[in-house]
Amino acid sequence: MRHFDQTLAFARKPYDFIAEGCEEHGADVFETRLMLRPTICMLGRQAAEIFYDDERFIRHGAAPLRVQQSLLGHGGVQSLDGDAHRHRKQMFLQVTAPQCVAALLRESERQWVRAAHRWRRGPIVLYDELHELLTRAVCAWTGVPLPEDEVARRVHDLTEMFDHAGAIGPPHWTARMARNRAERWAGRLVAEVRAGRLRPPGDSALAVIAGFRNRQGKPLPAYTAAVELLNVLRPTVAVSVFIVFAAVALHRHPHERALVMRDPGAALDWFVQEVRRYYPFFPAAMARARREFTWHGQRFRRGQRVLLDLYGTNHDVRTWKSPRDFRPERFATPPHDHYDFIPQGGGTYQQHHRCPGEGITVQLMKQAVLFLLHGMRYTLPPQDLSIDRGRLPALPRSRVVLADVSLAAPYTSPPTP
């Protein structure tokens, strides 16, 4: 290790730190120290395949405490391994099945129309407005009651958990308090369902999670069920990050915009996938070495924390031709396997820690792109659309300001997965 600790260096350049370190070391893997702990950093398709090998890595205990206190919570599916992880994952695969996603799209479409009516009153910041839009949609879809006098509070808390996930100081404390409030709220909802005082639809996420049983046939502890309910609500609201990047891409790439307008099928899918590849979301995934082994000359010690560079792998020149260029047509030929394209994790949904909500992300993005193209008219006033890559998640500095908003002709909803 050439530096005693590189936490500050990582915080300054979270999306480039691992790639630059690999270039400096002339390898796809190197060891450093982050938050005073020896940490191994990895990049590339081969690294991803190794990283999602359950014989070599586990997730339990991998996330730093501050990430658990704000973004993830304790005891959720992200921290499980082996059969316990696969069993819990079935709960999420059930609530993200195609027919369930279709129901979410119907609700989110209603919220887009409702929001566009409201936006006619003046310029709006799209990123901020999307939080309420998606919170209303996901709560209705999951069977979570959302009284009007609670909307602002729930929007704030669900947003804080991911919008300040990488913050330090006061913003971290704000995110931590938001999670505490949200967990108490979600826990009350689970308790009300189990007591029969609240009866959400049987296929809703709230009903499924409240009734889910572990491998021993027992219901999840109330706290764990609350964390898992938030693992449906929070990531859905976080799709706002990808949607604002899609809006930026529509503005910066008029040729691609015209292609999507002419072909809301394949061209739309390619465009959305390229947004997910090209723009930064979260920079890395975390795990711990299950056992000692050596890979590419690097010794992995049992229990050692390991980071896989998601952003860098999605921009690896060995996999992607001209990775710094925005080229949706590259997705005319799908990635070779589950480890080339990993904006929301690698491997398979059933066996690995790839996000089961990835299909929801894609469909909500497609719907948003179509609505921006066909459901409303707007202008982009002068603003700073450069990306602040020093925050987590990265965002356009202006958060995308829309002006002169008006409703347009009806648009065609995207097909469900």
Q: Give the integer Cα–Cα distance in Å for 39 and 18.
A: 11
Q: Give the integer Cα–Cα distance in Å for 69 and 64.
A: 9
Asked if residue 1 is part of any domain, the answer here is no
DSSP strands (E only) in 277-326 = 284-289, 293-295, 298-300, 305-309
- Report the Cα 400 to chain-centroid distance in Å: 19
Asked if residue 112 is part of any domain, the answer here is yes
Q: Give the integer Cα–Cα distance in Å for 155 and 139.
A: 10
Q: Give the integer Cα–Cα distance in Å for 307 and 286.
A: 5
For each of the chain's 417 residues, which pLDDT tens digit applies? Answer: 457 899 999 999 999 999 999 999 999 999 999 988 999 999 999 999 999 999 999 999 998 888 888 888 898 998 899 999 999 999 999 999 999 999 999 999 999 999 999 999 789 999 999 999 999 999 999 999 999 999 999 999 999 999 987 778 888 889 999 999 999 999 999 999 999 999 999 999 999 999 999 989 999 999 999 999 999 999 999 999 999 999 999 999 999 999 999 888 899 999 999 999 999 999 999 999 999 999 999 999 999 999 999 999 999 999 999 999 999 999 998 766 789 999 999 988 777 778 888 999 999 999 999 999 999 999 999 999 999 999 999 999 999 999 999 988 666 566 555
Asked if residue 253 is part of any domain, the answer here is yes
Q: What is the pLDDT of residue 403?
A: 96
Q: Are 238 and 72 in contact (CB under 8 A)?
A: no
Q: Give the integer Cα–Cα distance in Å for 153 and 173.
A: 16
Asked if residue 412 is part of any domain, the answer here is no
Q: Look up residue 41 and give its two tokens.
A: 């950093």
Other Cβ atoms less than 10 A from the Cβ of 97: the count is: 14
Q: Give the integer Cα–Cα distance in Å for 125 and 128.
A: 6
Other Cβ atoms less than 10 A from the Cβ of 228: the count is: 25
Q: Give the integer Cα–Cα distance in Å for 62 and 288.
A: 5
Asked if residue 366 is part of any domain, the answer here is yes
Q: Give the integer Cα–Cα distance in Å for 102 and 125.
A: 27
Asked if residue 417 is part of any domain, the answer here is no
Distance in angstroms between the alpha carbons of the first and the last residue of the chain: 46
Other Cβ atoms less than 10 A from the Cβ of 142: the count is: 25
Q: Look up residue 223 and give its two tokens.
A: 């706290």
Helix 266-278 and helix 358-370, axial crossing angle in degrees, nearest 10: 120
What separation in angstroms does the CA of 63 have from each of 78, 285, 392? 9, 9, 15
Q: Are 232 and 133 in contact (CB under 8 A)?
A: no
Asked if residue 416 is part of any domain, the answer here is no
What separation in angstroms does the CA of 160 have from each of 11, 76, 143, 387, 389? 19, 18, 22, 19, 18
What is the residue-wise DSSP string for 145-179? Answer: ---GGGHHHHHHHHHHHHHTTT--SHHHHHHHHHH
The number of C-alpha atoms within 13 Å of 244 and in the hemisphere containing its C-beta is 28
Q: Are 64 and 359 in contact (CB under 8 A)?
A: no
Q: Give the integer Cα–Cα distance in Å for 355 and 231.
A: 10
Other Cβ atoms less than 10 A from the Cβ of 245: the count is: 24
Q: What is the DSSP letter of 415?
A: P
Q: Is the pTM of this model over 0.85?
A: yes
Calculate Rg over the CA atoms of the chain: 21
Q: Give the integer Cα–Cα distance in Å for 124 and 345.
A: 32
Number of domains in the chain: 1
For residue range 201-251, what is the model confidence (pLDDT) as tens digits?
999 999 999 999 998 999 999 999 999 999 999 999 999 999 999 999 999
Q: Which domain holds residue 253?
A: 7-407
Number of helices (H), then strands (E), belonging to the chain: the values are 15, 12
Q: What CATH number is given to the structural domain containing 306?
A: 1.10.630.10
CA nearest neighbour of 297 among 18, 115, 31: 31
DSSP H helices, 164-221, are: 170-194, 205-211
Q: Give the integer Cα–Cα distance in Å for 272 and 265.
A: 11
The number of C-alpha atoms within 13 Å of 33 and in the hemisphere containing its C-beta is 7
Other Cβ atoms less than 10 A from the Cβ of 26: the count is: 7
Asked if residue 306 is part of any domain, the answer here is yes
